[in-house]
Amino acid sequence: MDLATLEALRSPAGVPSHPLIFLGLGVLTWALHIIAVYVVVGGGLLSLYGLMQRGHDHWQRLSAMLLDHAKIGVSIAIVVGVAPLLFVQVIYDPFWYVSNVLSARWAIGFIVFLLLGYWALWLHYGQVRRAGGSASPSWLIVALLLILLVGFIMHVLSMQMLSPQEWLNWYAPGGHIDASGSHIHDYSLPRWLFIVGLAVPVGGAWLMACRQYLAGRDGEDAGYLAFLGALGRKLALWGGLVSLVMLAAWMASLPAAAAGFALSPWTLAVAATLMLLALLTWKAPDGAGYYMPVLALLAALALGALREAYRYAVLHGGFGYDFMNYKIVMDWYSTILFFATFLVVGGIPLAFMLSLSWQAGRSRGVYTASPLIAKLGVASVVVALLWVVQYFAFGAFVLVR
């Protein structure tokens, strides 16, 4: 497909701000999203393993704890995951929309599979609440398989957008139009396994943070804390080393036209952050547990930047497409509203929920919120109401002006 056709598929309305803003926000929000996904996948797998360790109290307790984290993590992953999808479709709309149309049934099925996976997770949670350690793992296995399938669908859509030269062949193989959208046309198993496999070292970093959090409770089981620390270190070290091998496998599988990308600064940055995550988590003292998820986030940011750099290298180097020359129709209102929503309407309620959960989890018996946390709760409601008011007020202004 030629460059003129690709650029003709762009939105004639242009973009409401500089494309680099959307690129940067895409990397940031994808990193936050994938950390939540790793909590779900890594926590779910460990919860499944712990559930099957009958008679091992530490594993049983860990299984229940990570199940709680996983069901909350799905909600966070869904909410935060909307943003990077929006940003990529803004600057890469010709590629993203064509990829979705070519596999339309899978793109729509994404929502169905995600809902079914979430429901299965809650069904398992209900079983655990009723039966404790004797609960069946069946629903948890179903949930994990569906969540992994959802991730694979997103991977396929991301891969298909990188091959415009194949779109016509996929849409009309042998000259016969296939508009069913029922086929998966392209994927990279090494890339998908690498990204999913990072749930292991990130899960280890998460356990180190959990260990430090629980250590702040009065009368906490020292044996359980030691168990968490040892397990977290092992997962981070060995998971990180295996991830480096899988990263090399992904780079080795790149097409010949992009083979030079394997030694790019973006790839080396990902390898370096993974090594830091693995080695520092392995050697970190118990009191440094909270720094480990920060390292995991740095690795996720490096990976997000690598994905975008590779996408740009393929589409610009192979087809001449450059999102930087997208027509800009500056819209200050929507730009300011987005950042205000992200930082204020999102930040204050998030600070409230995190503070409340933090304090409640460390308290024994009935928890009473402090005056500061109570004020954060009130502020959360106020900023949400103000956002709704401005939404309708601006709509009314547009209609009557």
Secondary structure in 3-state letters for the chain: CCHHHHHHCCCCCCECCCHHHHHHHHHHHHHHHHHHHHHHHHHHHHHHHHHCCCCCHHHHHHHHHHHHHHHHHHHHHHHHHHHHHHHHHHHCHHHHHHHHHHCHHHHHHHHHHHHHHHHHHHHHHHHHHHHHHHCCCHHHHHHHHHHHHHHHHHHHHHHHCCCHHHHHHHHCHHHCCCCCCCCCCCCCHHHHHHHHHCHHHHHHHHHHHHHHHHHCCCCCCHHHHHHHHHHHHHHHHHHHHHHHHHHHHHHHCCCHHHHHHHHCHHHHHHHHHHHHHHHHHHHCCHHHCCHHHHHHHHHHHHHHHHHHHHHHHHHHHHHCCCHHHCCECCCHHHHHHHHHHHHHHCHHHHHHHHHHHHHHHHCCCCCCCCHHHHHHHHHHHHHHHHHHHHHHHHHHHHHHC
Residue 73 is predicted with a pLDDT of 93
pLDDT over 70 for what percent of the chain? 100
Residue 357 is predicted with a pLDDT of 84
pLDDT over 90 for what percent of the chain? 74
**Which is nearest to 197 in space by CA: 46, 72, 44, 42?**
42
Looking at every residue in the chain, the average pLDDT score rounds to: 92
Residues 6 or more apart whose CB falls under 8 angstroms from that of 154 comprise: 110
Residue 353 is predicted with a pLDDT of 87
Distances (CA, A) of 353 to 23, 137, 361, 379: 29, 30, 12, 12
Distance of CA 243 to the CA centre of its chain: 17
Count Cα neighbours of 348 within 13 Å in the Cβ-side half-sphere: 19
Q: Considering the entire predicted model, what is its pTM? A: 0.93
pLDDT digit string (tens) for 176-185? 999 999 999 9
pLDDT over 80 (residue 362): no
User: Are 165 and 95 in contact, with CB atoms under 8 Å apart?
Assistant: no
> Distance between CA atoms of 401 and 393, rounded to whole angstroms?
12
Q: Which two tokens stand for residue 51?
A: 């559930």
Residue 217 is predicted with a pLDDT of 81
Residue 134 is predicted with a pLDDT of 77
pLDDT digit string (tens) for 161-179? 999 999 999 999 988 999 9
pLDDT digit string (tens) for 276-333? 999 999 988 888 889 999 999 999 999 999 999 999 999 998 899 999 999 999 999 9
pLDDT digit string (tens) for 53-86? 877 899 999 999 999 999 999 999 998 999 999 9
Query: For residues 363 and 60, which has the higher predicted lDDT (pLDDT)?
Result: 60
Distances (CA, A) of 396 to 56, 337, 391, 399, 400: 62, 17, 9, 5, 6
Query: For residues 299 and 357, which has the higher predicted lDDT (pLDDT)?
Result: 299
pLDDT over 80 (residue 132): no
Residue 287 is predicted with a pLDDT of 82
pLDDT over 80 (residue 133): no
Question: Which residues sit opposite 328 in a β-bridge?
Answer: 15
Q: How confident is the model at residue 398 (pLDDT cuts 50, 70, 90)?
A: confident
Residue 235 is predicted with a pLDDT of 96
> Distance between CA atoms of 24 and 96, rounded to whole angstroms?
18
